């Protein structure tokens, strides 16, 4: 059974007049929404999203239920903006961790749209779980910008995904790999724009109680400028049950529509009197279409099988593989490289996770995860220092 303790805080900041952020947290759901839009529009969008997500998840506390609640909020924000022209262009980010029902268990799962962030903290180490859905972060991932350049780029607040932008909504969904004692922080960019990851890690990893930690985060962000609304939700896990079937995907709320059928033209039935004309080209077209479908299927399957990486066990060495643990149909994972770490240089719980494979979207993320696990082992290992004193 998964259980957590929690604390939260939201603040208008030192510059803004209205707080367009909204948040919600209880014993099974944590959500932060950062509204955008003129006048009170952003405030409306974030409040609507928090209300819909929290209510809908209570009725259906499953992976599908939380996905549906986010999709519902997107459609309702769009409908409200259409009905109220003064709110045209309003929208909001949303980032949520829900303890979704899986059989008799509740497992922690992250849902994300926009540039609000989720961080994981363990033994003083910080790990960013979410990827910003913004123009500059896309450029960073493509190698067009460095992280330092992205931090000051004029388009750093231009989002590529948000609630209330369009009917089709792509939601990042990820099962969390956490253990008792881990802390998860959800926050709006009003915090991350004012504090570095190192500063955040120092505050969150302190021995202070959760409420003191969130208050310190808000106070320090305001002290550093407070140029935007600041919202934080912090949870600490007391007990954890991980998903037996972990997911990591980007889910689109609208499937690709089927091609429209071509209506029969007048006189078409008469032309079917000629057997060759009726079956000849249609047969070849059918065969060609079948070949294309089969070829497309295998192409998509190949892409899916090798679209991710994972940290795994290579005969006692921590390694990075491309593919999916266990393989997908005929496509088996391929080892990319061995790290310099051995499996016995990981904590037992982390080593067990690595044996099953820890999925990551990129090679860099997989290497970062391997380093994170090894550093956590080093931090947890006692060291002995012998000091010699000079005589005389």
pLDDT of residue 152: 65
Domains, the chain, with CATH or none: 3-252 (3.60.40.10), 309-380 (no CATH)
Question: Which letter does DSSP use for residue 20 in this model?
Answer: -
331: pLDDT confidence band, cut at 50, 70 and 90?
confident
Instruction: Quote the pLDDT of residue 271.
Output: 29
Per-residue pLDDT tens over the stretch 156-182: 667 889 999 899 899 999 999 999 999
User: For the residues of 306-328, what is the DSSP string, one character each?
Assistant: TS-EEEEEETTEEEEEES-TT-B
In what helix (H) or strand (E) does residue 213 lie, and over which residues does it extend? helix 210-223
123 close to 382: Cβ distance less than 8 angstroms: no
Look at phi and psi of residue 29 and say left if phi exceeds 0, alpha if psi is from -120 to 50, else beta: beta
Span of 13-17, 79-83, 226-230, 247-251 with lowest mean pLDDT: 247-251
Task: Please give the pLDDT value at position 284.
Answer: 62
Mean pLDDT of the chain: 84
pLDDT of 255 reads 42
Q: pTM here?
A: 0.65
Q: How confident is the model at residue 334 (pLDDT cuts 50, 70, 90)?
A: confident
Per the model's pLDDT, the better-predicted residue between 205 and 138 turns out to be 205
Q: For 150-173, what is the HEC assignment?
A: HHHCCCCCCECCCECCCCCCEEEE
Tens of pLDDT, residue by residue over 28-84, are 999 999 999 865 689 999 999 999 999 999 999 999 999 999 999 999 999 999 999
361 vs 320: CA distance, rounded Å: 12
Where does the pLDDT of residue 285 fall: very low under 50, low under 70, confident under 90, or very high at 90 and above? low
Q: Which two tokens stand for residue 27?
A: 């014993």
**3-state helix/strand/coil string of 67-107:** HHHHHHHHHHHHHHHHHCHHHCCCEECEEEEEEEEECCEEE
- pLDDT value of residue 388: 34
% residues pLDDT > 90 (the chain):
57
List b or e across 313-344, with b for residues whose CB sees 16 or more CB atoms inside 10 angstroms: beeeebbbbbbbbeebeebebeeeeebebebe
- Report the share of the chain in percent with pLDDT over 70: 81
Bigger pLDDT: 266 vs 320: 320
Place of tokens 């795994």: 312
| Burial tier of 16 (Cβ tally within 10 Å: 0-12, 13-18, 19+) | middle
pLDDT band at 361 (very low <50, low <70, confident <90, very high): confident
């Amino acid at each position: 059974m998964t259980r957590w303790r929690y604390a939260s805080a939201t603040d208008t900041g030192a510059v803004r007049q209205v707080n367009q952020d909204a948040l919600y947290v209880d014993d099974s759901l944590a959500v932060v929404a950062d509204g955008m839009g003129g006048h009170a529009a952003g405030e409306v969008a974030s409040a609507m999203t928090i209300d819909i997500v929290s209510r809908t998840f209570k009725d259906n506390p499953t992976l599908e239920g939380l996905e549906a609640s986010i999709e519902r909020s997107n459609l309702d924000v769009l409908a409200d903006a259409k009905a109220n022209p003064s709110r045209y262009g309003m929208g909001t980010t949303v980032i949520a961790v829900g303890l979704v029902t899986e059989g008799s268990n509740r497992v922690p799962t992250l849902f994300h749209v926009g540039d609000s962030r989720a961080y994981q903290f363990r033994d003083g180490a910080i790990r960013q779980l979410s990827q910003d859905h913004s123009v500059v972060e896309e450029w960073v991932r493509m190698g067009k910008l460095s992280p330092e350049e992205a931090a000051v780029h004029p388009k750093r607040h231009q989002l590529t995904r948000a609630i209330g932008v369009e009917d089709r909504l792509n939601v990042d969904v990820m099962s969390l790999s956490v253990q008792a004692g881990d802390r998860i922080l959800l926050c709006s960019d009003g915090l991350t724009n004012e504090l570095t990851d190192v500063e955040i890690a120092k505050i969150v990893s302190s021995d202070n109680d959760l409420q003191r930690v969130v208050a310190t985060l808000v106070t320090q962000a305001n002290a550093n400028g407070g140029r935007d609304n600041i919202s934080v939700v912090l949870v600490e896990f007391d007990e954890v049950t991980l998903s037996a079937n972990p997911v990591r995907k980007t889910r689109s709320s609208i499937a690709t529509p089927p091609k429209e059928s071509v209506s029969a033209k007048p006189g078409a039935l008469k032309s079917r009197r000629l057997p060759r004309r009726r079956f000849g080209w249609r047969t070849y077209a059918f065969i060609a279409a079948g070949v294309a479908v089969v070829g497309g299927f295998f192409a998509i399957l190949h892409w899916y099988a090798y679209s991710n990486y994972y940290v795994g066990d290579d005969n006692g060495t921590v390694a990075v593989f491309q593919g999916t643990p266990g393989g997908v149909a005929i496509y088996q994972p391929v080892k990319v490289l061995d790290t310099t770490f051995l499996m016995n240089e990981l904590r037992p719980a982390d080593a067990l996770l690595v044996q099953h494979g820890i999925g990551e979207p990129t090679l860099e993320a997989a290497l970062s995860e391997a380093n994170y696990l090894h550093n956590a082992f080093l931090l947890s290992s006692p060291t002995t220092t012998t000091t010699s004193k000079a005589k005389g």
